Chains A and B, each alone.
Chain A
Amino acid sequence: DADVTQTPRNRITKTGKRIMLECSQTKGHDRMYWYRQDPGLGLRLIYYSFDVKDINKGEISDGYSVSRQAQAKFSLSLESAIPNQTALYFCATSRADTQYFGPGTRLTVL
């Protein structure tokens, strides 16, 4: 959905580097989410945010941090990337019961 954008779309980095993935939305939704997807597996929730002042951990938050800079922006950081964080990362937004996903960021940690 073009209303949810993610940057970068692809990133290759080295172990120990700090990485930030950014998500922006023009849908005006309060709720935003970060998921990761490993090959052949479903999505797992990393963090979610109800609004700018509300951040919640998902099922796999260790090794990640987030920042909700504005209603429209939700960033995911890997403070010190490790190889098992190689995955496809998706940002999503929702107002109520439907989530709208971005195109994903493919992250490779060498």
Chain B
Amino acid sequence: LAKTTQPISMDSYEGQEVNITCSHNNIATNDYITWYQQFPSQGPRFIIQGYKTKVTNEVASLFIPADRKSSTLSLPRVSLSDTAVYYCLVGDIEGGTGFQKLVFGTGTRLLVSP
């Protein structure tokens, strides 16, 4: 399973755009990149997933360069409630089963201040 590296922590202010970059140099051809958000004492919550280029949903955007060795989660106009830990994961969605075995690292602790 590909190992990921992301900053331990980031600080931001309300209304700013936050970009969290994750490195995954050993990503395999079949690996997808998935980001989860976790609030204290709660289970992680799926944010976004992608394979290449750009993916956008109502919560965030995910930018993946052509070599796929890194990815950037972009949170537009963050609010105080976006304070959480963000995990970048890469894993193979096993062909036919759609199963992705996830490996969580320590994540990036984002603190949004007023």
**CB contact between A42 and one of B49, B87, B101 (< 8 Å): that residue:** B87
**CB contact between A104 and one of B43, B93, B104 (< 8 Å): that residue:** B43
A97-B100, A98-B46, A98-B49 known; A88 vs B41 contact (CB < 8 Å): yes
Interface 9-mer from A12-20, A44-52, A62-70, A72-80 = A44-52
Q: What sequence of 0s and 1s flags, for each residue 85-114 of chain B, a beta carbon within 8 Å of any chain A beta carbon?
A: 001000001000111111111110000000
Instruction: Classify chain A's interface size.
Output: 20 to 34
B102 neighbours in A (Cβ, 8 Å): 43, 45, 99
Report the minimum CB–CB distance from B95 to chain A (whole Å). Answer: 12
Q: Does B45 contact A (CB under 8 A)?
A: yes
A50-B99, A96-B98 known; A43 vs B104 contact (CB < 8 Å): yes
Listed in ascending order, the chain B residues whose CB lies under 8 Å from chain A are: 32, 34, 41-46, 49, 87, 93, 97-107
Across the A-B interface, the 7 shortest Cβ-Cβ residue pairs? A101-B43, A42-B104, A96-B98, A43-B104, A98-B46, A90-B43, A42-B105
